[in-house]
Amino acid sequence: MSKILPLSLSGISVKAGGNHLLRDININFDKGPLTLIIGPNGAGKSLLLRLCHGLIKPNKGTLTWQGSEAAFAARHQALVFQKPVLLRRSVRENIAYPLRITGMFSTAEITDRIAEALDLSGLAAIADRPAKVLSGGEQQKLALARARAIRPEVLFLDEPTANLDPRSLGQVEALIRETHEAGTKIIMTSHDMSQVKRLADEIIFLYDGHILEAGPAAQILNKPASKEASAFVKGDLLP
């Protein structure tokens, strides 16, 4: 039974300096498929994730969780940023932080969740190392493990494997897949088509702040309807 889904965006527009960064976004996210938001740089992918997560407010339109605009959904969702933002603390303390500030968990439960997150992410051996000295791949795994420890119903991932080497990329993707299989709704952005092919169940193609196409991954990848999506999927240069 879902606590917050579906997430519905209706007639959403975001403007800055007179420019439409997102315009007329209408989409529903429901439990189940692993959703990839794809599109070229500047299409509005990260902005859409931040909007869904509540970090920015739309200029127009409505965003609802289970039909309600209330902020009740805040503690059931998490966002992992493209560049991991880590506190100047140990790996273990970074995972503990969001669990502690909710005030919802006992010390024993926090300890259990930290142990589970460290185990799943393969970071147990470096749990007491300062987070800021980890490699890029380790930092991203930690950010993902920290978000996962909250056990969110929805996990937003903003290009979580950008700038990672193939080995780290594989490890982070495995963690994403495992999180999805554990029942968390994943909504992530990417412009890496090989990754999209590996992970996506459904795809939203965003272009110039607007959703040009949305549907099952096979449909968008094999028979894109718009010339922009077709060019993007093929890896051609876009106008």
Partner 1 sequence: MISILDGFGEAFRLLLSFDADLVEIVLLSLRVSLTAVVFSALIGLPLGALLAVIKFPGRQVLVVLINAFMGLPPVVVGLIVYLLLSRSGPFGVFGLLFSPTAMIIAQTMLITPIVASLTRQAISDLWVEYRDLLHSFDATPWQIMKTLLWEGRLSMMTGILAGFGRAIAEVGAVMIVGGNIDHATRVLTTAIALETSKGDLGLALGLGIVLVGIAVVINILTLSVGHAIGRQSAQGQLL
Figure out which of the listed residues 128, 166, 234, 235 binds partner 1, where binding follows CB under 8 A: 128
| Interaction of residue 85 with partner 1, rule CB under 8 A | yes
Q: Which residue has the tokens 């127009």?
A: 60
Q: Which is closer to partner 1, CB of 130 or CB of 170?
A: 130
Closest to 22 measured CA to CA, from 46, 53, 55: 46
CA distances from 154 to 7, 29, 72, 166, 176 (A): 10, 10, 13, 26, 12
Q: Which is closer to partner 1, CB of 87 or CB of 218?
A: 87
| Interaction of residue 98 with partner 1, rule CB under 8 A | yes
Stretch that binds partner 1, among 14-22, 32-40, 75-83, 104-112 (CB under 8 A): 75-83
Q: Which is closer to partner 1, CB of 13 or CB of 97?
A: 97
Figure out which of the listed residues 64, 90, 111, 219 binds partner 1, where binding follows CB under 8 A: 90
Structure tokens at 63: 């965003």
Closest to 91 measured CA to CA, from 108, 115, 70: 115
Q: Which is closer to partner 1, CB of 57 or CB of 167?
A: 57
Structure tokens at 167: 């080995």
Sheet holding 185-190, edge to edge: 77-80, 154-158, 185-190, 35-38, 202-207, 210-216
Stretch that binds partner 1, among 18-26, 124-132, 162-170, 211-219 (CB under 8 A): 124-132
| Residue ranges in contact with partner 1 by CB under 8 A | 50, 53-55, 74-75, 78-79, 81, 85, 87-93, 96-98, 101-102, 127-130
